[in-house]
Amino acid sequence: MTLPSLTSTSIVLVGAGNLATHLGKALFRQGFPILQVYSRTEASARSLAEAVEASSYTTSIEGIATDAAIYIAALKDDALMQLRQQLTEGRRKALWLHTAGSLPMRVWEGCADRYGVLYPMQTFSKQREVDFRHIPIFWESRLPEDGALLQQIASRLSQSVYETSSEQRKQLHLAAVLCCNFTNHLYALAAELLQRQQLPFEAMLPLIDETARKVHELSPQAAQTGPAVRYDRSVIDTHLQMLQQQPDIQQLYQLLTDSIHRKAEKKLFIS
């Protein structure tokens, strides 16, 4: 199957959040015509529509165009589950895609005849530009011919494209939360500790950068260092004492310390 001409693959973006913004811009840069942008808030819909030179934007589900080739729903999981029937009404012959890592493809069953998933695995913020060529994209489709289309569309956007099942994608999303969201939360906690001592968080950046670089060359387990690996009791106890006035962080510190140490002991036992 060959990719249809760009003018026949008009796209409606359902959503104008962080992911929709970056995905829409990436599609636009590759020549895909964005027919329309939908968002509940006019400012968001208008802003993204202008950025991708969409023909129109709307804040009404009833106002969503009915003649697009592809509809990409980049919404919160709960919103997608709530709105999927309304969204596809009168548009079920088009190809419907969602972008969620945590939702199965089958959420479209009974709502659309053609459907699938286009999941770019990355953290997105509107204020920060990203290079889609280096973002892995995972796709899934109900029909083989739509799978071929998704493979080719994704390959225009990224150098790393994979077909995955809904279960695989769910595990990817879980791993991504651990790697990204939880790690960033620890950065936020560290920033608060430093701020109390009038110390700049920027002092952590070389450490953060080197930690990230190491796992390009070593496995995460091999790259692990620190008092928890050695189970340096005096250092650990000192840190726990310092966190007495912050029991939530103290508990988190203890849980992570125990988990790191168990992994380290298991590695030593196996080797």
pLDDT tens digit string along 82-121?
Answer: 999 999 999 999 999 999 999 999 999 999 999 999 999 9
Question: For 23-77, what is each residue's pLDDT tens digit?
Answer: 999 999 999 999 999 999 999 999 999 999 999 999 999 999 999 999 999 999 9
Cβ burial of 22 (10 Å; 0-12, 13-18, 19+) is buried
Question: For 129-147, what is each residue's pLDDT tens digit?
Answer: 999 999 999 999 999 999 9
Tokens 């988990």 locate to 259
Instruction: Please give the Cα distance from 122 to 133 (Å, whole number).
Output: 12
Cβ burial of 189 (10 Å; 0-12, 13-18, 19+) is middle
The β-bridge relationship of strands 70-73 and 11-14 is parallel
Question: For 192-224, what is each residue's pLDDT tens digit?
Answer: 999 999 999 999 999 999 999 999 999 999 999
Instruction: Please give the Cα distance from 147 to 118 (Å, whole number).
Output: 10
Distances (CA, A) of 239 to 156, 243, 263, 264: 49, 6, 20, 20
Tokens 């945590």 locate to 102
Residue 40 per-residue DSSP state: S
CA 155: distance to chain centroid? 18
Question: For 224-259, what is each residue's pLDDT tens digit?
Answer: 999 999 889 999 999 999 999 999 999 999 999 999
pTM of the model: 0.87
Contact present, 35 and 68 (Cβ < 8 Å): yes
Domains, the chain, in order of start with CATH, read 6-164 (3.40.50.720), 170-270 (1.10.1040.20)
Q: Helix, strand, coil proportions of the chain in percent (round to 5)?
A: 55, 15, 30
